[in-house]
Homo-oligomer: A and B are copies of this chain.
Amino acid sequence: MRWQDLEQERCSVARTLSVIGDRWTILILRDCFLGISRFDDFERRLGMSRRMLSARLQKLVDKGVLRKKPYQQHPRRYDYLLTAKGIDLRPVMLAMLAWGDRYLSDGAPPMLLRHDDCGAQFTPVVHCSACGAPAPPGRVSVEPGPAAEVTALP
């Protein structure tokens, strides 16, 4: 399988990787969720080359995850802002954050999540959209869907 083929694969995880499956891209998105929007700020925080940063940002714009909004005309400069499609990647970020907090932070999480509605610090828990109850890993089954490539497992 070549990486160019990922977005054609009949698997939503693989297709999602075709958009965000690059470590720099995920760090850029993390910074977007922290409120960073300007090229120079991304560059300073991430320490990646301007050329690579520019290419990653443009890909996210092309994929509809970020949008560019001019904040200066001469020379033209842009804020890179999450679209609704981009904001919907937050559960991916939260899930990575929760796992890192649990297993890789030695009990001292670098960032905390607060639930605005109840005011408490929390960790994200996966619930079922149908019944609303928790859906922990051991209580979830995966089945082939209408566009399944994998219909039989060994």
Contacts and interface: CB of A to CB of B under 8 A. Distances in A.
**Chain copies in complex:** 2
Contact of A124 (B1, B17, B87, B135): B135
B34 A150 contact: yes
Interface residues of A, number: 93
Given A15-B100, A125-B129, 10 more contacts: A16-B96, A110-B144, A112-B142, A112-B143, A113-B140, A113-B143, A114-B141, A115-B130, A115-B131, A125-B126
Interface of A: 1, 3, 6-7, 10-23, 26-27, 30, 33-36, 38, 41, 46-48, 64, 85, 87-105, 108-118, 120-131, 133-135, 137-150, 153-154
